[in-house]
Structure 1
């Protein structure tokens, strides 16, 4: 059992170079893809990712907001899955909040690029796996 859920999960997340994020397709099947880690997180409740507005996952989230994110520490064979919802944010404040130097490589028109948006993932519950055991938890607000 984790002593401090938010600290344990937060530390695992912050050390990963890849995040896996899933959406639901038109036929109700999960679609998972690897992404850069979240640009910003608020505890283990809210995560912000950059992506292309024109991507398939954005179209899927607009139709079905259900989602999950997964982070895996391969060295110690442990991981965490968080389930919740995704909002597609296209307002200037959200885009500026997580914009970083070098993002023009992905979004050539800069922070106002219409093909640049923010995915805001809000977690509701999670499952942590470590030491051959799994533990479910509610995400603190």
Structure 2
């Protein structure tokens, strides 16, 4: 049983370099992507990712059930979060609070990057060949 999910999973999410994101497409096949580390997170409930638009095809993933998997290979543990994937594009409130927000927003649009929001509802923590479920609050 995981004692403090937000702290344990938050540390794990902050230290992994790649995140595995999966969902089921319209034809019933699994789609899996490797995403970079989250550029921002709110606890373990919301994760924002910034990805190259040219590297991924995004048809039909908006408001789709999905899962994120964070894995620590060194200690053979990980967490799978279930929730929803939403394409949000570029929004000023997600950018760092600086005086040059408009310049950074313009650079993001010119670079062809898209922001994706993952909102978690529940999860499963894997450690020592055991797993425990939890609800994200």
TM interval, short-chain normalised: 0.7 to 0.9
User: How many Å separate the matches in 1 of 2:96 and 2:113?
Assistant: 13
Equivalent position to 1:125, from 116, 122, 125: 122
Instruction: Quote the offset at 1:110 in angstroms.
Output: 2.2
> Does the aligned pair in 2 maintain the 1:81–1:126 contact within 8 Å?
yes
User: How many Å separate the matches in 2 of 1:94 and 1:22?
Assistant: 26
> Does the aligned pair in 2 maintain the 1:24–1:60 contact within 8 Å?
no
> Does the aligned pair in 2 maintain the 1:95–1:118 contact within 8 Å?
no
- For 2:103, the equivalent position in structure 1 comes to none
3-state SS of paired residue (1:59): coil
C-alpha distance after superposition, 1:50-100 (max 9, x if no partner): 1234522x22313x51111000000110000001001111243156349xx
- For 2:52, the equivalent position in structure 1 comes to 52
1:10-25 equivalent positions in 2, closer than 5 A: 10-25=10-25
Structure 1 runs, 4 residues or longer, greater than 4 Å off: none
Q: CA RMSD in A?
A: 2.1
> Does the aligned pair in 2 maintain the 1:95–1:117 contact within 8 Å?
no
Distance 1:115 1:95, change over 3 A: farther
Unaligned residue ranges in structure 2 (runs of 5+)? 98-105
- For 1:74, the equivalent position in structure 2 comes to 73
Distance 1:32 1:132, change over 3 A: same
Distance 1:131 1:79, change over 3 A: same
Range moving further from structure 2, 27-36 or 85-94: 85-94
3-state SS of paired residue (2:61): helix
- Normalising by structure 2, report the TM-score: 0.83
- Normalising by structure 1, report the TM-score: 0.81
Unaligned residue ranges in structure 1 (runs of 5+)? 99-108
